[in-house]
Amino acid sequence: MRVAYSILRRFFKSFDVSPQELAILLIEQGLVVEKMVRVEDVFAFPFVVGTLEEVRESFPYSECLIRLKDKVFSTRVKSWGVPPEGAKVLLSLHEEVPSFSLVAGEGKETSEFLIVLPDAFPEGEDVSRHLFGDDTLLDLEITSNRGDCLSVIGVVRDLSAKLDLDWEWPQISYQEVEMASPIALQNEDLNLCPYYTGKFIANVEVKPSSWEIIKDLYLLGLRPINNVVDATNLVMMETGQPLHAFDASRIQGNRVIVRRARRGEKIITIDGLERELSPDMLVIADGFSPIGIAGVMGGQNTEVYPATREVFLESAFFNRVSIRRTSKALSLRTEASARFERGVDPQGVRYASERVLSLLWQEGKVQIAKEWSIAGEAPHYDQTIQVYPEKIGEILNGQIATEKMMQILKRLGFTIVSLETDNFVVKVPSFRADVSTLVDVAEEIGRINGYDQIFPCLPSFPFDPGNEDKNYVLEKRLRTFLVARGLKEAVTLSFVDSKTVQELGVQPDSLIAVKNPLSQDQSFLRSQLLFPFLGILRLNLGRGRNHFGLFEVGKVFYPAQKAGNPWQEELRLGVALCGNLLPSLWQKGTPVDFFTLKGFTEEILEVVGFVPEMVQFLPWDDRTPGFERDAAFIIQSPEKMVLGWGGKLSEKILWKLDIRGEIYYLELKLEEIFTLVGELALPIRGANLFPAITRDISIVVDRDLLWATIAEKVNEIVNRERMAVEKIEVFDVFEGQPLPQDKKGLSFRCVFRSSERTLNDEEVEVWIHKIKSEIKHIRGVHLREEFVSS
Amino acid sequence: MPEIRIDVLEKYFSDFRESLDKVKTVDELNRIKGQYLGRRSLLGEFLAQLRQLSPEEKKVWGQKINEMKNRMEEEFKEKYEQLLFTKRKEMLIDVTLPGKKQWVGSFHPVLIVRDQVLSIFQSLGFRIESGPEIESDFYNFEALNIPPDHPARDDQDSFYLSPNWLLRTHTSPGQIRAMQKLTPPFKVVVPGRCYRRDAFDATHSPMFHQIEGLVVATSISMGDLKGTVEIFVRRFFGPQRKIRFRPSYFPFTEPSAEVDVSCGVCQGEGCRSCGYTGWLEIMGAGLVHPQVFEKVGYDPKKVRGFAFGMGIERITMLKFGITDIRWFLENDVNFLEQFRTWR
C-alpha cells in the first residue's frame, strides 16, 4: 500500500511531522514502511507546460502539435483524450526529448490522453516543484489482519491515535434527480454477497480526469484511465472499499444479477483475457452473460469507455473467503480482491459510493438517480469487549492510565459504551473485525502507546528442564567426533530430482512425491541421504576439490502407514570420503579406500557405545543400490536389523551423474543405532597389569570364505572354553604362490591375558591347540602347517 | 673355584673395565654383562661362597663384593647410555617444509549458530524439544489459529504431500507439541528444518532452519518476552547491541511483535547493510493467542505464555557477514573449511 506524505497531511488540521518522523511513527505502530521514496525519484521530472497549438484528426489517433516556447513537438494521442486547441498541457522534458508519461522510465510512443493544466500556468516553465512540492512516498507493508489500513483513511485513523490529533472525513456533496433507474437488481446469493448497492448515473461525459485526481492517483501508485474509472479507483484507495462502474447502456436486458457462475461460463475481463468460470465463483451478470467477476475484475463487455453516457455504480460487500478462492483459482489478484479478502468495512459500502458520486458531481452535468438499487443489507457488527485496565497493564508490563487507554481506543474508532471502577466496555468498529478479545485490545493500546514502553523483566518460576534427550546427546557426540576426525559437516536439500533416483534404480513409488514442487529438481523427498550427497559431490569435484570428507546428520522420508501418519521420517548419518587422507603433495599420501571407510564406520559405532559383537558386516546384497557389488557392506545387528550400509560408489552410476572421482560412502540408520545402545554403560575396571601371551595361527581357506566365519567360530570356542582371550586380530591376508588360485591364507594373532593372574605357557598351548583343532573342521579351512598344495 | 681374596676381586674388576673399553655394540655389551654380572659369572660364585664364611668374614667380604658389584653396574649403565646415544646419527631436517597435515574438520555454519542459540537458551533454563518435518495441517496451521482460507497462509506458501500433509513451514507446530507433552509452567526451545515454496535467490531458500521458543506459566507478560530476548541478543550478537520491539501480526500470538536488533556494522546509524534503517529484523514473537491455548486444551484464563521464532540462516548471515543464503546448501568444502575455528 503506497501513501503520499502530502495526501496524509491533508486530512489533519495541523500536522508538523516530517516524512522521516512519520516513517518512524508508522513503524512504531506496526505499519511497516518498506520503502521511502522522494517524488523526484519516481516521476519523470522536470515537468514543463506546453500549449496545444494544433490538432490534426485521424481516428482513432490525432496528431497533436505542442508548442514549447520556440519549439514545436508532435505526438499521437487517442482522439477522445485531446483537449481543445490552445489548452495548457503537461509534458516532461529530458535532454530536449519530450515525453507524456509521468512516471520515470515509462516512455510511450502514443498517449491515451493529454494532461490538461489550468490556463494560468506559464508556457515553458518547469512546474515540477510547483505541482508536486517536496513530497515523499511511503510503501507500507500491511499485515493480513489490517484490511482497514489498505486505505488512506485507515492509515490516517491509525496515525491520529498515535499523534492524538483530530482529522476530517472527505466531504460528501452531490445532488440527485427524480429519475427512475432502468436497471433491475437481483441478488441470488446473499451468502456470497450479503450486501449490494447500485446507483444509476446519466448524462456522463467520459473524459480525462482533472489534474488533481490524476496527481493523487499517480502518488498512490495507480494510473489514470478516465474520469469515471479514476473516481472509483481513487475512492477505493481513500476508503478501502472497491467499486466498479458499468456502462449501463451495455447491460443487456437492463438487469444486474448477482449469482454464481454457470458451469463452463466464460468472461473476457477488462485486461483483455478470457477466463473460464466455475459455479463456486460469484459473478455480476446481466440478462445474458457475466459482466464482471464479483470483487475481482469487471468485464470488457460493460467497461466504461469514451462513448459511455450512462453508468451503473456498484459498491458491495462480498464474502471474503469466496473472493479469495476465486482470485486464487483464476490467479488473478487485483487491488479489489486484495481488499475484499482481507475484509472491507460493511458499514462503509454506502459512504464509498457517495464519495464517487461527489467526485463525479463536481464535474457538473451528471444526473444521479435518487433511487438506490439495493439487495441484502449491510451486516451488523456489534462486538463489544469488556476491558480491564489492570489486565492490560499486566500483559504489557507497564503503567498506562485508564484515561489514556480510552483515548487511544476512541481515536482508533472504538466507542466507549460504559465505564465502571475496574473496567470499561468498548464497542468495536465494523472495520476492525480483527479485534474481538481483551488481548486484541491490549495490542491496540500497546502499539499506540509504544512497545518501547514495555518494561523488560524475566520469567521466574520453578521448572527443571531435565537432561538433554539421549538421541540429542548421541547426535552431538557423533558430529563432534566426525569433525575432530577431519570431516566437514554438510547441510543438504531434503529434495531430490527424478533423474538421480532413476539412475540409482530406485522405484519412484518408494519415495514421497511433492504435490507442488518448485521445479523438477525438487519433485521428491529424499529417502536416502545419498541422493543429495551426489549433488554436493558433483559440485565439489567439479570445482577441483579432490580430498575431503563430508557428513550430514539429517532426516530421510518414505511412505509407510504408522499411527495414522502415512509418511515416515527417520534420522540418518551420511558420510562421503574422497581423495587422500594426507593430501600434501610432497609426502606419499594415503588414498581413501574401502578399509578407510570401514575403519570410520567401526570408530563411529564405538563412539556411540557399540562393542564389536553388537554388529555384523555382511557383503553387499542389492538392498541399497548405487555401490560397486564387490566393495560394499551391510551392517546388521545380531537380531538381523539393518543398521546401515557403505562402500565404494558405483563408478558407472557416478559417471552417468557426471561425478568424476572415486568415492566411498556410508549411510547409518541413527534411530535404530541409538535404540540399540540404550542406556548401557560398560563396567569400568582398573587397568590390567598382568602380562599377555600372544600366539599366531595361520590357516589356508577357500578364497570366498569370509574372515567373519573364522572369527565367529573362534569367539564361540573362546567363550565356551572360558579362555582368557583379550583380542583376536588378523594381521595378514595373502593370495598367490605358493597357494593355489582358489585359496587364500589368513594369519591372525590371539592375545591371551587374564585379569586375575599371570598365565603360563602350558595352559595357553592347550587353548591354542583347542582352537586349531576345531577351526580346521570348518569346511574349506586348513591349518597352514597341515596344508599340502596339490 | 678361586678363593675370595682382595687381589682376585681387583683383577676381576679391572678385567671387566678392560673388556668394557673394547665394547663397540650393545650386543657385545650385553655379552660382557652376562660374563661378569650374570648368574653364572664368577661374581655369582663369590656370592655363593659367602655363605660358607663366618658371620664376621661374611659381613666384611659381603660389603666389599657388593660395593664392587654396584660400581660394575654403574660402569655398565654408563657404557650402555654412551653406546645408545652415539648410535643416533643426526639427520638433516628442513623444518620449513610442510608437515604431514591431515584433514581439518568443521561444523556447518548454520548448525554452529543453531547450537550456540540452543546453548544460550539452555543456560536460561529452557528445555530442548523436537518435532517432525512432515506435519499435518492441524499442527502447522489449524492449531495455530490459521484456519483454511486465512490470508496468513499466503505468507507461508507450502509444499504439500497430500491435502492434509505438508512440510512444516515453521517450527511453530513445536509449540503445540510441547504444550501437549508438558505441563505448565515450562520453557522450551524447538529447533528444526522448515520449508516454504520460495525459489532460490540470495536471501530465499525453499529449505531453512528455525528455532522456536515457548514459555508458558500463570502470568507471563510482554515484559518477560522482552527481557528474555534482550539477554539472548546481548549474548549472541554482543553486549553493545540494542533491540527494538515493533507491533506486527501473527495469527498465533496476540499481542505480536517483530524484533529488530541494532545494526552491527553502523551501530544503528544507518548503512547499506541495514538498508539505512539502523535496524535488522531477527525474529517474530508475542504472547500466545488464547485460541491456541484452547486448541490444546489449556485454559487461557489460567495460563499465559510467550513464543518467538527466528530464522537461523538469517542470523548466521548477520553473524558472519554472509551475503548469499545459497552458499549454505552448496556445501563447497572451500566455503565450509572457513568455519574450522567455530564450534
On whether the CB atoms of residues A254 and A183 are closer than 8 A, the answer is: yes
Give the chain A residue nearest B127 (alpha carbons): A465
Contact between A442 and B255 using a beta-carbon 8 Å cutoff: yes
Q: How far is A43 from chain B (nearest CA, A)?
A: 22
Cα–Cα dist A445/B247, whole Å: 11
- Residue at a domain's end among B32, B55, B87: B87
> Are residues B263 and B205 located together in one domain of the fold?
yes
Interchain CB contact of A557 with B (< 8 Å): yes
Name the nearest CA neighbour of A623 among A639, A645, A606, A641. A645
Give the chain A residue nearest B242 (alpha carbons): A452
pLDDT score for A757:
92
- Provide the percentage of residues in chain A whose pLDDT is more than 70: 98
pLDDT score for A356:
97
Of the partner residues B127, B227, B330, the one whose CB lies closest to the CB of residue A465: B127
Residue A133: CA count within 13 A, CB half-sphere:
12
Please indicate whether residue A203 or residue A680 has the higher confidence score (pLDDT). A203
Instruction: State pLDDT tens for residues A514-568.
Output: 999 998 889 999 999 999 999 999 999 999 999 999 999 999 999 998 888 899 9
- Give A610's pLDDT tier (boundaries 50, 70, 90): confident
Contact between A459 and B220 using a beta-carbon 8 Å cutoff: yes
Interchain CB contact of B335 with A (< 8 Å): no
Which of B113, B220, B331 to probe the A interface (max A CBs under 10 A)?
Answer: B331
CB atoms under 10 Å from CB of A136, counted, come to 19
Q: How far is A457 from chain B (nearest CA, A)?
A: 5
Interchain CB contact of A603 with B (< 8 Å): no
> Are residues B77 and B151 located together in one domain of the fold?
no
Name the nearest CA neighbour of B272 among B205, B323, B313. B323
Domains A2-41+136-163 and A384-453 share a fold: yes
> Are residues B113 and B39 located together in one domain of the fold?
no
Of the partner residues B128, B227, B257, the one whose CB lies closest to the CB of residue A451: B257
> Are residues B116 and B207 located together in one domain of the fold?
yes
CATH number of A47-125: 2.40.50
Cα–Cα dist B320/B322, whole Å: 5
> Are residues B56 and B129 located together in one domain of the fold?
no
Where do we find the cell 564406520?
Answer: A601
- Provide the percentage of residues in chain A whose pLDDT is more than 90: 73
Name the nearest CA neighbour of A91 among A129, A46, A38, A40. A46
Interchain CB contact of A333 with B (< 8 Å): no
Residues 96-155 of B with CB under 8 A from A: 97-108, 110-111, 115, 122, 125-128, 130, 132-134, 136, 149-152, 154-155
> Are residues B119 and B33 located together in one domain of the fold?
no
pLDDT score for A194:
96
Q: Give yes or no for residue A299 having a pLDDT over 90.
A: yes
Where do we find the cell 461460463?
Answer: A265
Please indicate whether residue A663 or residue B342 has the higher confidence score (pLDDT). A663
Chain center to CA of A551: 28
DSSP output for B249-276: -BTTEEEEEEEEEE-TTTTTS--GGGTT
Cross-strand partners of A551: A489, A575
- Give B35's pLDDT tier (boundaries 50, 70, 90): confident
Cross-strand partners of A376: A195
Q: Give yes or no for residue A762 having a pLDDT over 60.
A: yes
Give the chain A residue nearest B186 (alpha carbons): A463
Contact between A397 and B222 using a beta-carbon 8 Å cutoff: yes
Cell representation of residue A484: 575432530
Residues of chain B neighbouring A547 (CB-CB closer than 8 A): 103
Total domain count, chain B: 2
What are the start-end ranges of the E strands in A249-402? Answer: 255-260, 266-268, 274-276, 282-285, 290-293, 297-298, 311-317, 367-376, 384-387
- Give A631's pLDDT tier (boundaries 50, 70, 90): very high
Lowest mean pLDDT among A105-114, A553-562, A750-759, B243-252: A105-114
Contact between B98 and A584 using a beta-carbon 8 Å cutoff: yes
B92 is a domain residue = no
Q: What is the dihedral of CA B9, B15, B17, B18, to 10 degrees?
A: 160
Q: How high is the mean pLDDT of chain A?
A: 92
- The whole-number average pLDDT for the span B254-258 is 96
Where do we find the cell 454464481?
Answer: A260
Q: Give yes or no for residue A163 having a pLDDT over 70.
A: yes
Write the ipTM: 0.89
Q: Spell out a b/e string for A321-331, using b for 16 or more CB atoms within 10 Å of the CB, else e.
A: bbbbbbbeebe
Give the chain A residue nearest B158 (alpha carbons): A516
- Fold adopted by A693-786: Alpha-Beta Plaits (3.30.70)
Ranges of each domain in chain A: 2-41+136-163, 47-125, 176-376, 384-453, 470-677, 693-786
DSSP-derived secondary structure letter, A488: E
> The domain at A2-41+136-163 falls in which architecture?
2-Layer Sandwich (3.30)
Please state the pTM of the whole predicted model.
0.88
Give the chain B residue nearest A578 (alpha carbons): B103
On whether the CB atoms of residues B264 and B237 are closer than 8 A, the answer is: yes
- Give B229's pLDDT tier (boundaries 50, 70, 90): very high
Give the chain B residue nearest A555 (alpha carbons): B133
pLDDT score for B87:
62
Cα–Cα dist A763/A666, whole Å: 43
Residues 211-240 of B with CB under 8 A from A: 215, 217-224, 226-228, 230-231
Q: Give yes or no for residue A790 having a pLDDT over 80.
A: no
- Give A113's pLDDT tier (boundaries 50, 70, 90): confident
- Give A237's pLDDT tier (boundaries 50, 70, 90): very high
Name the nearest CA neighbour of A207 among A4, A55, A363, A439. A363
Residues for chain A: how many in total?
790
> Are residues B65 and B113 located together in one domain of the fold?
no
Give the chain B residue nearest A538 (alpha carbons): B332
Of the partner residues B185, B193, B247, the one whose CB lies closest to the CB of residue A461: B185
B202 is a domain residue = yes
Of the partner residues A32, A321, A491, the one whose CB lies closest to the CB of residue B328: A491
Q: Give yes or no for residue B1 having a pLDDT over 60.
A: no
> Are residues B193 and B264 located together in one domain of the fold?
yes
Cross-strand partners of B135: B166
Cα–Cα dist A606/A599, whole Å: 11
Residues 298-327 of A with CB under 8 A from B: 321, 324-325
Instruction: State pLDDT tens for residues A499-528.
Output: 888 888 888 888 999 999 998 889 999 999
CATH number of A176-376: 3.50.40.10
Q: How far is B80 from chain A (nearest CA, A)?
A: 27
Q: Give yes or no for residue B58 having a pLDDT over 80.
A: yes
- The whole-number average pLDDT for the span A571-577 is 97
pLDDT score for A680:
57
Where do we find the cell 491520529?
Answer: A160
Give the chain A residue nearest B331 (alpha carbons): A490
Q: Taking chain A, what is the end-to-end CA distance rounded to the nearest angstrom?
A: 94
Instruction: State pLDDT tens for residues A679-736.
Output: 556 778 889 999 999 999 999 999 989 998 999 999 999 999 999 999 999 999 999 8
Q: How far is A133 from chain B (nearest CA, A)?
A: 24
Interchain CB contact of B84 with A (< 8 Å): no
CB atoms under 10 Å from CB of B54, counted, come to 8
On whether the CB atoms of residues A492 and B331 are closer than 8 A, the answer is: yes
B97 is a domain residue = no
- Give A623's pLDDT tier (boundaries 50, 70, 90): confident
Specify the 3-state DSSP secondary structure of B216.
Answer: strand
Q: How far is A321 from chain B (nearest CA, A)?
A: 6
Q: Give yes or no for residue A632 having a pLDDT over 90.
A: yes
CB atoms under 10 Å from CB of A62, counted, come to 18
- The whole-number average pLDDT for the span A262-279 is 95
pLDDT score for A650:
93
Contact between B224 and A539 using a beta-carbon 8 Å cutoff: no
Please give the class, per CATH, of domain A470-677. Answer: alpha beta
Q: Spell out a b/e string for A186-222, using b for 16 or more CB atoms within 10 Å of the CB, else e.
A: ebebeebbbbbbbbbbbebebbbbbbebbbbbbbbbb
Contact between B290 and A439 using a beta-carbon 8 Å cutoff: yes
Q: Give yes or no for residue A667 having a pLDDT over 60.
A: yes
On whether the CB atoms of residues A481 and A495 are closer than 8 A, the answer is: no
Of the partner residues B132, B230, B249, the one whose CB lies closest to the CB of residue A144: B249
Name the nearest CA neighbour of B166 among A290, A566, A340, A602. A566
Please indicate whether residue A40 or residue B2 has the higher confidence score (pLDDT). A40
B291 is a domain residue = yes
Of the partner residues B125, B247, B328, the one whose CB lies closest to the CB of residue A463: B125
pLDDT score for B23:
87
Residues 448-487 of A with CB under 8 A from B: 451-452, 454-459, 461-463, 465-466, 468-469, 472, 476, 479-480, 482-487
Q: How high is the mean pLDDT of chain B?
A: 91
Name the nearest CA neighbour of A491 among A529, A518, A452. A529
Lowest mean pLDDT among A252-266, A615-629, A751-765: A615-629
Interchain CB contact of B95 with A (< 8 Å): no
Residues of chain B neighbouring A458 (CB-CB closer than 8 A): 224, 227-228, 231
Please indicate whether residue A255 or residue A131 has the higher confidence score (pLDDT). A255
Cα–Cα dist A180/B120, whole Å: 74
CATH 3.30.2270.10 fits A384-453, yes or no: no
Name the nearest CA neighbour of B210 among B256, B175, B251. B175
> Are residues B151 and B207 located together in one domain of the fold?
yes
On whether the CB atoms of residues A699 and A775 are closer than 8 A, the answer is: yes
Contact between B167 and A494 using a beta-carbon 8 Å cutoff: yes
Q: Give yes or no for residue A789 having a pLDDT over 70.
A: no
Interchain CB contact of B303 with A (< 8 Å): no
Of the partner residues B97, B133, B224, the one whose CB lies closest to the CB of residue A458: B224
Domain hosting B82: range is: 6-87
Residues 241-260 of B with CB under 8 A from A: 244-249, 251, 254-258
B95 is a domain residue = no
Give the chain A residue nearest B278 (alpha carbons): A24
What proportions of chain A, in percent to the nearest 5, are helix, strand and coil? 30, 30, 40
Contact between A581 and B330 using a beta-carbon 8 Å cutoff: no
On whether the CB atoms of residues B264 and B234 are closer than 8 A, the answer is: no
Range of A42-51, B24-33, B137-146 with top mean pLDDT: B137-146
pLDDT score for A46:
85
> Are residues B124 and B251 located together in one domain of the fold?
yes
Most distant pair of Cα atoms in chain B: their distance: 117
B93 is a domain residue = no
Interchain CB contact of A567 with B (< 8 Å): yes
Residues of chain A neighbouring B193 (CB-CB closer than 8 A): 494, 554-555
Instruction: State pLDDT tens for residues A644-657.
Output: 999 999 999 999 99
Most distant pair of Cα atoms in chain A: their distance: 129
Instruction: State pLDDT tens for residues B121-170.
Output: 999 999 999 999 999 999 999 999 999 888 778 777 899 999 999 999 99
B96 is a domain residue = no
Instruction: State pLDDT tens for residues B194-205.
Output: 999 999 999 999
| Omega within 30 of 0 (cis) for the link into B300 | no
> Are residues B252 and B168 located together in one domain of the fold?
yes
Specify the 3-state DSSP secondary structure of A550.
Answer: strand
Q: Give yes or no for residue B334 having a pLDDT over 70.
A: yes
Instruction: State pLDDT tens for residues A72-85.
Output: 888 888 888 888 88
Instruction: State pLDDT tens for residues B86-108.
Output: 766 778 888 888 888 889 999 99
B129 is a domain residue = yes
* The amino acid at A711: A
pLDDT score for A160:
97
> Are residues B262 and B306 located together in one domain of the fold?
yes
Q: Specify the CATH number for the domain of residue B251.
A: 3.30.930.10
Contact between B107 and A454 using a beta-carbon 8 Å cutoff: no
Q: How far is A20 from chain B (nearest CA, A)?
A: 11
- Residue at a domain's end among B54, B87, B120: B87
The angle that helices B222-237 and B312-320 make with each other, rounded to 10 degrees, is 40
Which of A318, A441, A454 to probe the B interface (max B CBs under 10 A)?
Answer: A454
Cα–Cα dist A203/A201, whole Å: 7
Q: Give yes or no for residue B20 having a pLDDT over 70.
A: yes
Where do we find the cell 489533519?
Answer: A12
- The whole-number average pLDDT for the span A738-761 is 93
Please indicate whether residue A663 or residue A780 has the higher confidence score (pLDDT). A663
